[in-house]
Amino acid sequence: MIEWDLYEFTTQHHWDDVAGLSSERVRQVLVVGDVHGTKTHLSAAIDLAVDLEAAAIVQVGDFWLSDRHGAQHRSKEAEFMWEAHDSPVPVVVLDGNHEDWPALSRYAKTPAAQEAITTRRPLHLGGSLWWAWRGSTWAWAGLRCAALGGAVSPDRRDRSVHRWRWPQETLTPHELDRFVANVDTDHDGTLDVLFTHDAPAQVRRIKGGMGAIPWETQHAMHQMRLLLDHAVDHAQPRYVIHGHWHRSHREQISDTTESVGLANDGHRDHIAWLTAEPELHVSFTN
């Protein structure tokens, strides 16, 4: 592998300056579940977005964001990242529990990234790729949107899994406070769509495809999901759209909010269609 094959996060644009991401342009969005760094799943989603004339793709975490400063960035990860970079449709990615956190943490501390964070908008990672960091907000076709990624890894105690993915995996109370402040500033405290990686604890009937999970890990997962409950109670979104559990799912969790869970890795119902007109609606594409 030669040096230029490696990917590196770069801030070339700011969200509000990109015409293709403006509220006037984005009225139909493809929302994609966990893809776990698999190029074939990402390529299929991009092709579908082009065929359906979607204005943007939102991927709800466990994308496996990585660049040359990460612990495990190799040619396979670089090829995957370049696929997103070169997409003809903007790709907006939440962080899940399986991302290259050494790389993301380094990038988030750069002056360019810190400047972008003050705008409350997703951060540019180069080309067509954007990172919807925890608490980022934006508007599409009059829809008030926000992102709140992160989750506890069900396999966090498995020594065979690379531990470098986990140090910043879990949503924190500080990040929840930042989310509340940003939603209050940009959207008067309420949302139409909240994109998350994990599901709020209010989602009662979800059954994931993750196998047996130790009790202490289940407890940590539940505590983080309670933070998402606070986010939902505060912003009262019409939809919460999430991944993480590897099963499709729909459930009315309050008088105002429906939760939509996406499957993973190309399985049935791993992609949803979000349209703003003539009214807000979310449906699986199959």
Q: Are 194 and 235 in contact (CB under 8 A)?
A: yes
Contacts of residue 143, defined as CB under 8 A and 6 or more positions apart, other chains included, come to: 192, 193, 276, 280
Q: Are 97 and 150 in contact (CB under 8 A)?
A: yes
Distance of CA 105 to the CA centre of its chain: 16
Average pLDDT over residues 158-183: 85
Judge whether 247 lies within some domain. Answer: yes
- Report which DSSP code applies to 196: E
User: Which band of pLDDT confidence, cut at 50, 70 and 90, is reported for residue 2?
Assistant: very low
Q: Are 220 and 152 in contact (CB under 8 A)?
A: yes
Judge whether 280 lies within some domain. Answer: yes
Task: Kindly report the number of other CB atoms within 10 A of residue 263's CB atom.
Answer: 21
Give the pLDDT confidence score for residue 163 in this predicted structure. 61
Residue range 224-280, pLDDT digits in tens: 999 999 999 999 999 999 999 999 999 999 999 999 999 999 999 999 999 998 889
- Report which DSSP code applies to 202: T
Task: Kindly report the number of other CB atoms within 10 A of residue 277's CB atom.
Answer: 11
Judge whether 21 lies within some domain. Answer: no
Per-residue burial over 15-32, b = 16 or more CB atoms within 10 Å of its CB, e = otherwise? beebeebbeeebbbbbbb
Residue pointed to by tokens 């940590």:
220
Give the pLDDT confidence score for residue 10 in this predicted structure. 95
Give the pLDDT confidence score for residue 102 in this predicted structure. 87
- CATH classification of the domain holding 66: 3.60.21.10
Burial of 109 (0-12, 13-18, 19+ CB in 10 A): exposed
- Vertex 79: Cα angle to 102 and 65 (nearest 5): 30
Distance of CA 26 to the CA centre of its chain: 17
Judge whether 11 lies within some domain. Answer: no
Number of domains into which the chain is organized: 1
Residue range 59-76, pLDDT digits in tens: 999 999 999 998 778 888
pLDDT > 70: percent of the chain:
94
Distance separating alpha carbons of residues 254 and 111, to the nearest angstrom:
40
Judged by DSSP in three states, 148 sits in: strand
Residue range 96-107, pLDDT digits in tens: 998 998 899 999
Give the pair of three-digit tokens for residue 283.
């449906």
Which is it for the CA torsion 212, 217, 219, 222, positive or negative?
negative
Judged by DSSP in three states, 92 sits in: strand
* Diameter over CA atoms, the chain: 55
Average pLDDT over residues 18-26: 92
Judge whether 183 lies within some domain. Answer: yes
The order of strands in the sheet holding 143-148 is: 137-140, 143-148, 193-196, 239-242, 258-261, 249-252
Give the HSE-up count for residue 83: Cα atoms under 13 Å, Cβ half-sphere.
Answer: 22
Q: What range does the domain containing 82 cover?
A: 26-284
Judge whether 261 lies within some domain. Answer: yes
Q: Is residue 1 pLDDT above 60, yes or no?
A: no
- One-letter amino acid at 34 equals D
- pTM of the shown model: 0.96
Residue pointed to by tokens 């506890």:
152
Of the ranges 76-80, 92-96, 101-105, which is most confident?
92-96
Give the pLDDT confidence score for residue 155 in this predicted structure. 81
Judge whether 74 lies within some domain. Answer: yes
Give the pair of three-digit tokens for residue 266.
């190309």
Judge whether 15 lies within some domain. Answer: no
The mean pLDDT value of the chain amounts to 92
